[in-house]
Amino acid sequence: MSPDSATAGRAAADKATLLDWIERDRERLIGFLSGFVQAASPNPPGDTLAPAAFVREFLEAEKLSYRVIAPQAQMPNLVASFEGRGPGKHLVLNGHIDVFPSGDPAHWTHGPWSGDIADGYVWGRGAADMKCGTTASIFTYAYLHRLREKLKGRLTLTVVSDEETFGPWGARYLMENHPEVHGDCCLNGEPSDPLTVRFGEKGPLWLAFTVRTKGAHGGYPHLSESATQIAAALIGDLYRLARQKVPPPGNVGGILDRSAEVIERALGAGATEVMRSVTLNIGVIQGGLKVNMIPSECRFEADFRLPVGIGKEQLMEKIRQLLGRYPQASLEEINYSPSNWCDPEHEMIGIIQGNVKAMKGFEPAPIVGLGGTDTRLWRYRDIPAYVYGPSPKTMGKTDERVAIEEFLHIVRTHALSAYDYLSR
């Protein structure tokens, strides 16, 4: 037997062992995700002490050392790392533990913090976004720690807080203050759909507009302009302004062209165009005091999403020109994260595709994500970062849930792909 054949044989045996462990742990994995969801962590307000304690209990039971890094006491981050048998690449596993707020529990079929296991799903806020993917990272780390003498380089686990609001106390803090978590590549399990693997994402630009007028009694419209009427006209113009397609840079356009059919299947009809276009959502509108008063103030918040290939200033220049027609309006920037992408033909993409094809018979298509994730922070430092996770179709919705078989598939893919990356 040649050395290459022997190496391939050992790798196949190790990967079979990983799959056996996951199958043996099936009920444990499902129970972990259920308990993880029950550890409520809506952001805002962002208190993640309960899920952090839940993860710490697991790490301690597995005898895995870790550090708590908590620049904000209510938002701890957990970091663990181990070395393989020799020099090699450094892979970082990243997942967050804060989730969206749940809204009225009465509207949920299963309570938002129930973690119910029913009808082939685990139910509750955060089941998809992203306690499924974070569970995959945690168990991948634990499984590969058992095989560490067969790996090269380093594996690091980052379980972070403060992601849902793009806050400063989670992955942002780690990336700015703890360069040991940078690594050579990052793997993340945010909702992306098993049919796809993300190599980039659109950039959110959040702006607040405030329209002010004198205001008056509702029966005297000749005495004052209406702030809400002006805001409505401005919103219409902003939507028209946002309707622009942007040519993707580098080899991104060709990759997205080849992925178009899968993008539509995974993310819904129209997703291909959205991926290449500036989009706008007016998420908040506040105006007026009483039905029979002409509003003197109206404030609304706009969520622009910029595709790869366009920066903030290109759009802001057009918005400033538009505001020249609305002297009653002022503008404030709330948040901005540039669109970002890394090599769509990187080794990790091929590894993920190969493992999924071996298990499921298809190769996930490389795409640009429509929403934001912490992986952008690695890409901003020119570190390749990839997302492979469950369907995004219920995230942020009432009755959020993740299919159990899909969840287990994500765990398998992450464990096998991390092994491949660190054993070559």
User: Looking at the predicted structure, is the pLDDT value of residue 1 above 60?
Assistant: no
pLDDT at 209: 98
User: Looking at the predicted structure, is the pLDDT value of residue 3 above 80?
Assistant: no
Tokens representing residue 138 in the block: 């945690």
Alpha carbon 308 to its chain's center: 16
Residues of the chain with pLDDT > 90, as a percent, come to 93
Q: How far is it, in rounded angstroms, from Cα 159 to Cα 188?
A: 11
Q: Is residue 244 part of a domain?
A: yes
Full residue range of the structural domain in which residue 326 is found: 203-253+270-336
Domain boundary among 320, 336, 352: 336
> How many independent structural domains does the chain possess?
2
Q: 13 with 26, same domain? A: yes
Q: CATH number of the domain that 329 lies in?
A: 3.30.70.360
Q: How far is it, in rounded angstroms, from Cα 124 to Cα 362?
A: 29
Domain boundary among 303, 318, 336: 336
Q: 380 with 348, same domain? A: yes
Q: pLDDT band at 93, cuts 50/70/90?
A: very high
User: What's the Cα-to-Cα distance from 361 to each of 8, 15, 45, 131, 390, rounded to whole Å?
Assistant: 21, 17, 42, 26, 17
Q: How far is it, in rounded angstroms, from Cα 144 to Cα 319?
A: 50
Domain boundary among 288, 315, 336: 336
Q: 289 with 331, same domain? A: yes
Tokens representing residue 379 in the block: 């890409």
Residues 163 and 70: beta-carbon distance below 8 Å: no
Give every CB contact of residue 155 below 8 A, 6+ residues apart in sequence.
81, 82, 84, 90, 91, 93, 141, 144, 145, 148, 418, 422
| Tens digit of each residue's pLDDT (9 = 90 or more) over 35-72 | 999 999 999 999 999 999 999 999 999 999 999 999 99
User: Looking at the predicted structure, is the pLDDT value of residue 389 above 70?
Assistant: yes
Alpha helices in 106-214 (DSSP H): 132-146, 171-177
Peptide bond just before 191 cis, omega within 30 deg: no
pLDDT at 2: 58
Identity at 301, one-letter amino acid code: E
| Tens digit of each residue's pLDDT (9 = 90 or more) over 161-178 | 999 988 999 999 999 999
Which residues are bridge partners to 366 per DSSP? 197
Q: CATH number of the domain that 123 lies in?
A: 3.40.630.10
Q: 357 with 234, same domain? A: no
Q: 115 with 223, same domain? A: no
pLDDT at 67: 98
Q: 322 with 385, same domain? A: no
Please state, rounded to an integer, the average pLDDT across all residues of the chain.
96
User: Looking at the predicted structure, is the pLDDT value of residue 207 above 60?
Assistant: yes
Q: 294 with 406, same domain? A: no
Q: 327 with 344, same domain? A: no
User: Looking at the predicted structure, is the pLDDT value of residue 7 above 80?
Assistant: no
- Concatenated DSSP letters of 376-422: HHHHTTT--EEE--S--TTTTSTT-EEEHHHHHHHHHHHHHHHHHHH
pLDDT, average across residues 180-197: 97
Q: Is residue 259 part of a domain?
A: no
First to last CA, the chain: 19
Q: Is residue 413 part of a domain?
A: yes
pLDDT at 123: 98
Residues of the chain with pLDDT > 70, as a percent, come to 99
Residues 99 and 113: beta-carbon distance below 8 Å: no
pTM strictly above 0.85: yes
pLDDT at 222: 96
User: Looking at the predicted structure, is the pLDDT value of residue 196 above 60?
Assistant: yes
Alpha helices in 178-297 (DSSP H): 227-242, 252-267, 271-275
Q: Is residue 36 part of a domain?
A: yes
Q: How far is it, in rounded angstroms, from Cα 75 to Cα 415?
A: 27
Q: Is residue 12 part of a domain?
A: yes
Which backbone phi and psi does 104 adopt, to 5 degrees?
Answer: -70, 120
User: What's the Cα-to-Cα distance from 321 to each of 292, 312, 394, 417, rounded to whole Å?
Assistant: 33, 14, 38, 48
Q: How far is it, in rounded angstroms, from Cα 136 to Cα 62?
A: 15
